[in-house]
Structure 1
Amino acid sequence: MQAFLTNIAQRPALWAMLRRIVENNYVGERAAIADELTPWLQTKPRRFLDFGCGTGEFASSFPQHSYMGVDLSQGYVRYAATLSDHRFGVMNGNALAFGDASFDAALIVGVIHHLDDALAQITARELHRVLAPGGEILMLEDIPAQDWWNLPGRLMHWLDRGDAIRQDEDYGRLFAPYFTIQRRWTIRSGICDYAVYRFSRVD
């Protein structure tokens, strides 16, 4: 089963379809973006980074001219570009090819649970660098299934390629030197439980 899922993950269109099914078309993530970031982006022009954008699922939530999606996978970025006219690029998250203070906000969905603590902290430092003073992050990360009866969610985590699924409070600890937690809560999107953080940049 693990080999089967890995094979699907290497095919962006199939992986996107699977995730939409198990996460009910990302209803939880889309609601968080609409509630937390969309009103904020409407107050004045903003520069926005979708960090670990994958197939660009959430690009449509943001104005085309203000959005930049980056991912380590060339295949995923290429696929995202076929679906949207938003800008995408292939980059290593530990060394982003942007100048200091290039963005006003960032979205992170399901990225940090693929990184060990050391890499996660390097990533937090790099995000701090590319975000302008007053910058914010909306981060949604996988956490263990919150209800004992959510067996499909437990199975999905067992199959997940992320080796660092943490308790919700642990993600905030990794970002603490560079970002302050404004709010923290949990959601369920389809069968998947997430910790949601709204961070502000430590200036």
Structure 2
Amino acid sequence: MHQVEPVSSPTERALDRLSSSPRLWNALRWLAEAGFAGERMAIARELRPWHGDTRRFLDLGCGTGEFAREFPPGHYVGVDPSFAYVQFAAHHRPGAYLTGLGEALPFYDASFDAGLVCGVLHHLPDATASAAMSEMARVLCSNAPLLVIEDVPPPGRSNPAGQMLHTLDRGGYIRTTEAYRTIFGPAFRVEQSYPMRTGICDYAVYLLRRR
């Protein structure tokens, strides 16, 4: 029997076209997330990169490399599955960039001193997200911090714009704050977690520590 493919809506098709353009998609997110102010503050507060810092930082799911300038020059590596986004980042941001999957990172064990996972896990089903976290544990040094920032459902009815945005999100696995904890794996301990709203977007922020 012939299987009929689901028909996407005009809105979904428009979003797919937008997301295929790194520049346009980044501009849309910049507007929705108030210039990524919350993410930048969390990076500064939890990972504490500073000019002259010699630690090696890995940004998993780096997208357009929006946060590269938050890290010391020459010590930032971004990985993303999208070749187009990696090419954009390499031409417009500082740092080194590679195309790759989170569940098969192209690095030796203990290659990095700190890591960032921002807006990635809500695009992945549980098994793939868990595999990506296992890979992060492998490539991070012992006791390395890992900052995870992920989309969560807006609390109550306090953010109708955020609720509408979630219906348009390209990630199909937005989880509760507790559900994310189940995929971090035994290699990490949660040192702290807290909610964050930046622009109209609600997030859960986790500071993990590699055991």
Unpaired segments ≥5 residues, structure 2:
1-10
Look up the match of 2:181: 172
- What is the rounded CA distance, in whole Å, between the counterparts of 1:42 and 1:100 in structure 2? 26
Question: Aligned pair 1:191/2:200, yes or no?
Answer: yes
- What is the rounded CA distance, in whole Å, between the counterparts of 1:156 and 1:104 in structure 2? 34
CA 1:31 to 1:165, structure 2 compared with 1: closer, same or farther past 3 Å? same
How far 1:42 sits from its partner (Å)?
6.8
How far 1:43 sits from its partner (Å)?
9.3
Q: Do the aligned residues in 2 keep the contact of 1:73 with 1:90 (CA within 8 Å)?
A: yes
- What is the rounded CA distance, in whole Å, between the counterparts of 2:61 and 2:36 in structure 1? 16
Look up the match of 2:26: 16
- What is the rounded CA distance, in whole Å, between the counterparts of 2:157 and 2:94 in structure 1? 42
| Bigger Rg over Cα | 2
Secondary structure of the structure 1 residue equivalent to 2:130: helix
- What is the rounded CA distance, in whole Å, between the counterparts of 1:46 and 1:123 in structure 2? 21
Question: Aligned pair 1:94/2:142, yes or no?
Answer: no
Look up the match of 2:17: 7
Q: Do the aligned residues in 2 keep the contact of 1:109 with 1:139 (CA within 8 Å)?
A: yes
- What is the rounded CA distance, in whole Å, between the counterparts of 1:14 and 1:8 in structure 2? 6
Secondary structure of the structure 2 residue equivalent to 1:26: helix
1-10 or 191-200: bigger deviation: 1-10
Secondary structure of the structure 2 residue equivalent to 1:174: coil
Look up the match of 1:105: 114
CA 1:146 to 1:43, structure 2 compared with 1: closer, same or farther past 3 Å? farther
Q: Quote the sequence identity (%).
A: 45
Q: Do the aligned residues in 2 keep the contact of 1:81 with 1:87 (CA within 8 Å)?
A: yes
Letter in 1 for 2:32: V
- Write 1 or 2 for the structure with the bigger share of strand: 1
Q: Do the aligned residues in 2 keep the contact of 1:38 with 1:61 (CA within 8 Å)?
A: no
- After superposition, the CA RMSD in angstroms is 1.4
How far 1:147 sits from its partner (Å)?
4.0
- What is the rounded CA distance, in whole Å, between the counterparts of 1:163 and 1:42 in structure 2? 37
- What is the rounded CA distance, in whole Å, between the counterparts of 1:19 and 1:116 in structure 2? 22
Secondary structure of the structure 1 residue equivalent to 2:173: coil
Look up the match of 1:37: 47
- What is the rounded CA distance, in whole Å, between the counterparts of 2:17 and 2:160 in structure 1? 23
Q: Do the aligned residues in 1 keep the contact of 2:38 with 2:196 (CA within 8 Å)?
A: yes
**TM-score, normalised relative to structure 1:** 0.95
- What is the rounded CA distance, in whole Å, between the counterparts of 1:147 and 1:23 in structure 2? 19
Q: Do the aligned residues in 1 keep the contact of 2:68 with 2:94 (CA within 8 Å)?
A: no
Look up the match of 2:80: 71
Aligned length: 201
How far 1:44 sits from its partner (Å)?
5.5
Q: Do the aligned residues in 2 keep the contact of 1:64 with 1:87 (CA within 8 Å)?
A: no
Letter in 2 for 1:71: D
Letter in 1 for 2:145: E
Letter in 2 for 1:28: G
